């Protein structure tokens, strides 16, 4: 199989990730819920991973890092925990439903919402022009999940006043490229563990710069202040009610170790080289329409395309049938982005590359796509 669906989840994982998850069964007790050896070791392992995430994104403290089960949960905590009726929020059409759907619910509850539809290169300037006196948040993805374009988060973050929260969805960037929350002045950053961070599914985290700005999304047992019926008001406990996913978290830690050992710059360069090469191979094939990319220097890890007016799901199934090329088709949970590119009915075929892909696979996938075009 040629696996080119890494934007959905990375595959395969480094062997060290599987080993870390398996080893956790040897000591897995409830972290932070006991004084015996197994519980204490479990708590230490969780804390180690919190430290690794802090260092990865240059956060000030481990208290700024809350574990979640995925990026979507982190985004929901950030938005529902900080926005109320009368607040103004700015986002864009280039967002995943994990941003758009919570904001739709909040809009129905009285939040003032602006969804910007402009060229991606102009987004930063358009955000600044859209700011109102009651603007409370700017919520965008770092790299959009449909066409893979990078947004200038450093320019945006450093242009906002400090009373405006800057929320970044890092699902398609973290692990593929460096992210510095201080350099980009990010207030809230949500990320999954199972994509380019190479961790297991069911893992993720939310970075919160100022814990007083975000209320907890869920309350319950934390192992701290258990004598009180009032949920803890300090981070990270306030965001982590219930037992943590120990096995997933240590697997995520192993994934981050692998990234540090491999080198984030090396990962970024390799993945970009694969995607750029694929783009150059397919862009002039008969009927191929590549979206959101005007030159190969705009490419990160994603190339999304269609073949004339053929249904994207039909093309994806043909790729799997003809050469076991695994890609993602149809909506990608990005309806407004599809509307922008006029593909709401057709969808797109998304090829997304990861570190374990090879240049031979890129050339073979392009050949199979060309065969599908010729056979039609």
| Position 74 confidence tier, pLDDT thresholds 50, 70, 90 | very high
- pLDDT, average across residues 140-146: 97
Determine the Cα–Cα distance for residues 366 and 226; give it in Å rounded to an integer: 58
Domains and CATH numbers, the chain: 15-262 (3.40.640.10), 263-375 (3.90.1150.10)
With 0.85 as the threshold, say if the pTM is over it.
yes
pLDDT at residue 33 greater than cutoff 80: no
DSSP3 helix / strand / coil % (the chain, rounded to 5) = 40, 15, 45
CA neighbours closer than 13 Å in the CB half-sphere of residue 262: 24
* pLDDT tens readout for residues 318-373: 999 999 999 999 999 999 999 999 999 999 999 999 999 999 999 999 999 999 99
Which of 122, 146, 126 has the alpha carbon at shortest distance from 138?
A: 126
Q: What is the pLDDT of residue 88?
A: 98
Strands of the sheet containing 288-290, edge to edge, are: 288-290, 302-307, 349-352
């Amino acid at each position: 199989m040629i696996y080119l669906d890494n934007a959905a989840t990375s595959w395969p994982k480094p062997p060290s990730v599987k080993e870390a998850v398996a080893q956790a069964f040897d000591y897995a007790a409830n972290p932070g819920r006991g004084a015996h050896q197994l519980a204490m070791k479990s708590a230490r392992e969780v804390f180690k991973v919190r430290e690794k995430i802090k260092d990865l994104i240059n956060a000030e403290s481990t208290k700024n890092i809350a574990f979640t089960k995925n990026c979507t949960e982190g985004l929901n905590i950030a938005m529902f925990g900080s926005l109320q009726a009368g607040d103004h929020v700015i986002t864009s059409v280039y967002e995943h439903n994990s941003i758009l759907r919570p904001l739709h619910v909040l809009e129905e509850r009285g939040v003032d919402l602006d969804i910007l539809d402009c060229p991606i290169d102009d987004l930063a300037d358009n955000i600044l022009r859209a700011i109102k006196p009651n603007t409370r948040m700017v919520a965008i993805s770092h790299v959009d999940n449909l066409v893979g374009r990078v947004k200038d988060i450093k320019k945006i973050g450093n242009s906002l006043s400090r009373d405006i929260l800057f929320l970044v969805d890092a699902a398609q960037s973290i692990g593929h490229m460096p992210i510095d929350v201080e350099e980009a002045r990010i207030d809230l950053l949500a990320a999954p563990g199972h994509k380019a961070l190479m961790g297991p599914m069911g893992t993720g985290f939310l970075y919160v710069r100022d814990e007083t700005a975000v209320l907890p999304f869920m309350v319950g047992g934390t192992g701290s202040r258990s004598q009180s019926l009032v949920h803890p008001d300090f981070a990270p406990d306030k965001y982590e009610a219930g037992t943590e996913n120990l096995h997933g978290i240590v697997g995520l830690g192993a994934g981050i170790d692998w990234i540090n050992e491999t080198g984030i710059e090396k990962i970024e360069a390799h993945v970009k080289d694969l995607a750029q090469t694929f783009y150059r191979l397919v862009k002039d094939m008969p009927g191929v329409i590549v979206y959101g990319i005007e030159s190969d220097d705009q490419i990160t890890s994603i190339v999304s395309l269609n073949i004339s007016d053929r249904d994207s799901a039909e093309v994806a199934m043909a790729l799997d049938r003809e050469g076991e090329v695994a890609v993602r088709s149809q909506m990608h949970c990005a309806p407004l982005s599809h509307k922008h590119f006029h593909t709401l009915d057709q969808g797109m075929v998304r090829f997304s590359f990861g570190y374990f892909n090879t240049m031979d696979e890129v050339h073979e996938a392009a050949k199979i796509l060309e065969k599908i075009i010729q056979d039609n």
